[in-house]
Amino acid sequence: MAQMTMIQAITDAMRNELKNDENVLVFGEDVGQNGGVFRATEGLQKEFGEDRVFDTPLAESGIGGLAIGLALEGYRPVPEIQFFGFLFEVMDSVAGQMNRIRFRTGGTKNQPITVRAPFGGGVHTPEMHADSLEGLIAQTPGIKVVIPSTPYEAKGLLISSIRDNDPVVFLEHMKLYRSFREEVPEEEYTIELGKAAVKREGKDVTVVAYGAMVHSSLKAAEELEKEGIDVEVIDLRTVSPVDYETVMESVKKTGRAVVVQEAQRQAGIAANIVAEIQERAILHLEAPVLRVTAADTIYPFSEAEDVWLPNHQDIVEKIKAVVNF
């Protein structure tokens, strides 16, 4: 076991898979000799060579096409999009091509691609770096969306994503890259995609969260414990497909729920969770399911992040509103 940050755990997962499968290729802007703008691919080119880990021209759409073509030749591409705000440049490759190839070929071809990209606020990045766009891809059939919140899970989920024979978008929250260390086994292990984790057991109210909001939710739960409110926190880990079984089990136990996301209210995936809860567990609800989200504006100018991003106080307030309904 070693103490690792999330970024180290991610590098470790890629190293493991580069070693494990000669078809794994890691590429993107500055991922080679430079080791990535966040050092996610640090040392990988040196260890595995330029044939396996390489830089690309600066063109996201081209990177997407490159991944699709390499997959058609039997490779297992792990391309990086430097910041997920640049997704729009490669939206067709991700949401119009790689997710549809198994379908369009009647199951005769597949796309074992893992698109890695950082996102998320709280680190004062310039425009179009921090936007939460997972909702766009979660609406797209044929692709899975994974968002880890801890180093341990990042490694296990990334190995699973790379081994998945269908495309996965793997989103890495920038604020979580180095915010804490955790024990991460050095040997390989996997965490099943599409499975949520109960991060804190409680009996009064269920909080469903993902990404950085998992930690804010845990902080809110701690605060509310002092007030005698027992909060159960579920980390979705995969936002498409969602593990509704775990969500429903919890909601049926607590009778109350709050869904927390960093994305704007009209974006993200919180509305899906609310809809499924009301379809499947309405008779168990003591109160409406409320959402904690950002405001429906463009992602803020960096100096306004503190007032704009949802935080644990917002979560505390919503939980209280649900409990006192």
Pairing of strands 114-119, 238-240: unpaired
36 binds another protein (CB under 8 A): no
Which helix (H) or strand (E) segment holds residue 35: the answer is: none
Contact by Cβ (8 Å): 131, 137: no
Indicate the residue among 66 and 292 with the shorter CB distance to another protein. Answer: 66
- Binding flag, residue 70, another protein (CB under 8 A): yes
Q: Which region among 4-12, 28-36, 63-71, 291-299 touches another protein (by CB under 8 A)? A: 63-71
- Residue 108 binds another protein (CB under 8 A): yes
Asked if residue 62 binds another protein (CB under 8 A), the reply is: yes
Cα 195 to chain centroid, rounded: 13
**Contact call for residue 139 and another protein (CB under 8 A):** no
107 part of the interface to another protein, by CB under 8 A? yes
- Per CB under 8 A, contacts with another protein among 167-186 are none
Give the catalytic positions in this structure.
129
Contact yes or no for 202/221 (Cβ under 8 A) = yes
Residue 151: what residue type?
P
Closest CB 80 distance from another protein, rounded Å:
15
- Counting contacts by CB under 8 A, is residue 34 touching another protein? no
Task: Check binding of 92 to another protein (CB under 8 A).
Answer: yes
Q: Which two tokens stand for residue 259?
A: 């869904």
Nearer to another protein, 182 or 243 (CB): 243
8 A C-beta contact, residue 315 and residue 223:
no
**Residue 52, Cβ density class (10 Å: 0-12 exposed, 13-18 middle, ≥19 buried):** middle
CA–CA gap between residue 217 and residue 211 (Å, rounded): 10
- Asked whether position 96 contacts another protein by CB under 8 A, the answer is yes
Task: Evaluate whether 278 touches 289 at the Cβ level (below 8 Å).
Answer: yes
Q: Give the binding site for another protein (CB under 8 A).
A: 51, 56-57, 59, 61-62, 64-75, 92-93, 96-97, 101-110, 141-142, 144, 164-166, 194, 241-245
